Amino acid sequence: MKRLISILLGLSWLLFACNQEPGIGGSSTIIGKIFLEVYNSDFSLLKDSYYLPDEYVYIIDGDNVTYRERVKTNFDGTFEFPNLKKGHYTIFAYSMDSTRTLPGYNLAVIREVDIDGNRQLVDLGDLTLQNNAGNKGTSRIRGKVYEINYNSSFTTILDEYYVPDFDVYIIYDNSVIYDDKVKTSFDGAYEFRDLPKGDYTLFVYSDDSTGQSPTGKITLTKEVTITENGQTIALPDFVVLN
């Protein structure tokens, strides 16, 4: 009887092992890198390309319809899904759709792979994404806004300070509208992050002390060029009047 029970338990364990679904709990690993191509607005000109940090990559186990896990890429664009069992996996990340035909202009870049052994290392190589929004990079532009308060005739200074909660705008690649805006911090500081290489115009609105503007406002601009990845550019202060 004991021998029969042992045989049945062994067969049960064998059937369980054979029917295990793919997923976490194994000894294999899938690795790869995310490579980004940055284009102009109509995808006609490649402006920059680099391995993309801080980007989500997703994994689907077997025939599931939703992803089980997502990870973010490292500083050099690498990603890793460790501790995987044998089975079929789908890895994907989202790219902009250069044809502009998909809903939301999002395109899934997909790789499928089978793990058929233990302690297996599967290198997917590069998954190449495309973007034209000007907001996928590794550089940043920062600065401060300084405000001078006058009386109504702009003849006497009443106060001056680094102004918080003030709107600063950025234009990428000579766009006709601004691409992003941020508000200054408590100390008047602002920062635009995750910028690719290219030409930028930053601007703020100031009161017009001359009285010539129909709206009573004028635009103050600063132009800057990011020439390399990982660059931090500190601009001189915007000085606005109020």
- Per-residue model confidence as pLDDT tens digits over 77-120: 999 999 999 999 999 999 998 887 776 668 999 999 999 999 99
CATH number listed for the domain at residues 22-131: 2.60.40.10
| pLDDT of 8 above 90 | no
| pLDDT score of 158 | 96
Quick one: 174 exposed, middle or buried, by C-beta within 10 A (0-12, 13-18, 19+)?
exposed
| pLDDT score of 33 | 98
Beta bridge partners of 92: 58, 110
Q: Residues 131, 126, 56, 167: is their CA dihedral positive or negative?
A: negative
Helical (H) or strand (E) element with 135:
none
| pLDDT of 17 above 50 | no
| pLDDT of 11 above 70 | no
* Spatial separation of the C-alpha atoms in residues 43 and 99, rounded to whole Å: 9
| pLDDT of 57 above 60 | yes
Tokens of 98: 């250069």
| pLDDT of 210 above 60 | yes
Helical (H) or strand (E) element with 133:
none
* Average pLDDT value for the chain: 87
Residues forming CATH 2.60.40.10 domain(s) in the chain = 22-131, 139-241
| pLDDT score of 80 | 97
Contact of 125 with 107, CB cutoff 8 Å: no
Q: What's the CA dihedral at 152, 158, 162, 167 to 10 degrees? A: -10
| pLDDT of 25 above 90 | no
Helix (H, G, I), strand (E, B) or coil at 189: strand
Q: The whole model's pTM is what?
A: 0.56
Quick one: 216 exposed, middle or buried, by C-beta within 10 A (0-12, 13-18, 19+)?
exposed
| pLDDT of 40 above 90 | no
Q: No. of H helices and E strands in the chain?
A: 1, 17
| pLDDT of 214 above 50 | yes
Contact of 94 with 108, CB cutoff 8 Å: yes
* Spatial separation of the C-alpha atoms in residues 139 and 36, rounded to whole Å: 14
The pLDDT confidence band at residue 134, using thresholds 50, 70 and 90, is low
The domain 139-241 belongs to what CATH superfamily? Immunoglobulins (2.60.40.10)
Give the closest residue to 113 by CA, choosing from 94, 86, 93.
Answer: 86
The pLDDT confidence band at residue 136, using thresholds 50, 70 and 90, is low
| pLDDT of 59 above 60 | yes
